[in-house]
Amino acid sequence: MVGCINQGTSTDTVSKGNTVKIGSPNTIKAANFFDTNLGIFMKVSNLTLTKMDENGKIVGNMATKYEASNNDKTWKFYIDPELYWSDGKKVTPEDVKFSIEYYANKIPYAGWIKQRVESVTVIPEDNAVEIIFKEPYTRTNLEFATYNILPKHVWESIQDPINYVQADNYVGCGPYYVSNVNLDSQIVTLKKNPYWKGKQSIVDTIEVHMYKTNDTLALDLENGNLDVYYKYAGSYPYSNIQKLTDTGKYDIIQKMNVGLVFLGMNLQRQPMSDLEFRNAISYAINYEEIVKIEALGYGSAPNRGFVPPTMEFYKETPKLEYNVEKAKQLLSEAGYKDNNGNGIIETADGKDIKIIMLIRSDYIRSGELVQDYLKEVGIDVTIKSVDTSTWISLKDKYYYDLTITRTTPWGMLMHAQWGTGYFDSRRTGEGVLHNLDDPEFLKICDNILSTTDAAKMQTYAYQVQDYYSENLPGIALYWNENITPYSKKYSGWYVDPLYGIYNTDTFLNLQKAS
């Protein structure tokens, strides 16, 4: 059971007129509630049932407390009775029930809810919602730390939410609500919820200024036009850090990332489906060089076990090793040889190994490095750079050989944790590869999802990391630190592992620095 944050000072003692300006490279495609980045900016408006605190513990948010019973098949969330929507209507458990069913039936990435949930019931006398799962589901409190709850009276008439566009006055129940989404100026504006009963903030308005180029964003920061930098699950560009701190206007928050950048493989295609091939190319990559070039030293070379040491139940698996001669030897032993002397190794049937690397613009430099590394061992790689929507479409159709992408903190924690949601073939989502249907791996995932025993959880976590180490469904390229610059004008920035500084605790506790 956990408590709610909605307690604090009265409105009488609050300063007025403060606007916090956030600079972010996270742009939105449409003024749509379910746009990925707008959904993140909604976290202080349409609250989630639970949230993650700075120590990674799941605590109450919209729910004042929660209980699990019946071997984690039954979960009960007690809704804060002091919450009101920004249009004045009271938040009810019916809103939560509606939201869960709405996500399950209308939002593609939430299809797991329909598969796993047996029923959602309102318990009026407890101001609560009871969710019963078909099988034990130990990660329920974590899953619902990411789903923004909807006002039923607004959304029940909207039948096509994915294509529904709204520019003004989204109804929210947090301390703020999204008052405007301006795609022309690339600004999302949030105003105080006039019906918020909890702790009041000195911040009246939050403006999220979205930038398509890091250069323009960096210039506005250096000129003091912004109060903080925010990139979901990402860092301020390492090459710009020194110049910004030299202005004397900003301090930085430095945190080891729970996420990572990795080389993903289409395990449905040869030769990526061959473990011996995957193992060989793991030795072809210069991890220390990638850390120096991509993270400018703000990181480290990863392990074969994929999972970074920031995660609970991390296991020390062997370090990924750069050894070109060993890579060539392993390829040769596996039957991949350059028989015609053209510099490209061949498959058993004599065809040159020419593979396509599908990447987005954010990963071009990493892609070019990996392309060079693989060329050195006789693998011909063509880079196909596409926009995000094309990348999602092509990887979901398995129209690629290799890809470079990243995991987010939430991504590492979703599903059966430890990055499993990126690989499990049963999982859907924009960023996941769902490329692994090995029964051994799926069984480990199911064991994690159904256990309530902490000792068994550690055992299964170790099994996941051993599986990654031995089978390499993905190869981590580097573990990195996230750097967040913030203006010295404010103090009280609160960082959680899921959303960084963008959370209710930050905006409710910010103070003008003395």
Residue at 9: amino acid letter: T
DSSP letters, 162-196, are GG----B-----SSEEEEEEETTTTEEEEEE-TT-
Pairwise CA distance, residues 420 & 442, whole Å: 9
What are the backbone dihedrals phi and psi of residue 358, each rounded to the nearest 5 degrees, phi first?
A: -95, 115
Is the Cβ–Cβ distance between 103 and 156 less than 8 Å? no
Query: Rounded to whole angstroms, how far apart are CA atoms 27 and 406?
Result: 17
Rounded Cα–Cα distance for residues 237 and 365 (Å): 14
pLDDT score, position 273:
98
| pLDDT given for residue 109 in this prediction | 87
Coil/strand/helix, residue 392: helix
Single-letter residue type at 105 = N
**pLDDT value, residue 503:** 98
The closest alpha carbon to 482, from 505, 502, 507, belongs to 502
Q: In which residue ranges of the chain is pLDDT below 50?
A: 1-15
Q: Same CATH topology for 17-46+174-249+488-513 and 49-152?
A: no
pLDDT at 3: 33
CA-wise closest residue to 200 among 408, 16, 42, 449: 16
Architecture of domain 17-46+174-249+488-513 in this structure: 3-Layer(aba) Sandwich (3.40)
- The pLDDT, as a whole number, for residue 452 is 84
Separation of alpha carbons 458 and 511, rounded Å: 40
Q: Which of 3.90.220.20, 1.10.150.120, 3.40.50.300, 3.90.76.10 is the CATH number of 49-152?
A: 3.90.76.10
Amino acid (one-letter) located at 199 = K
| CATH code of domain 257-481 | 3.10.105.10
Q: How many alpha carbons lie under 13 Å from residue 10 in its C-beta half-sphere? A: 2
* Residue in the structure block whose two tokens are 């489906």: 273
Residue whose C-alpha is closest to residue 326's, from 284, 273, 263, 372: 284
Beta strands in 218-267 (DSSP E): 228-229, 250-256, 260-265
User: In this structure, what are the phi and psi dihedrals at residue 439, rounded to the nearest 5 degrees?
Assistant: -55, -35
Residues facing 90 on adjacent strands: 84
Do you know the residue count of the chain? 514
Give the tens place of pLDDT for each residue, 298-333. Answer: 999 999 999 999 999 999 999 999 999 999 999 999
- Domain range annotation of the chain: 17-46+174-249+488-513, 49-152, 257-481
Which tokens sit at 102? 């709405």
Q: Give the Cα separation of 81 and 151 in Å (integer).
A: 15
In the chain, the amino acid numbered 148 is N
Angle at 49 between CA 48 and CA 55, to 5 degrees: 85
Count CA atoms closer than 13 A to 215's CA, side-chain side.
0
Write the pLDDT tens digit of every residue in 109-128: 898 899 999 999 999 999 99
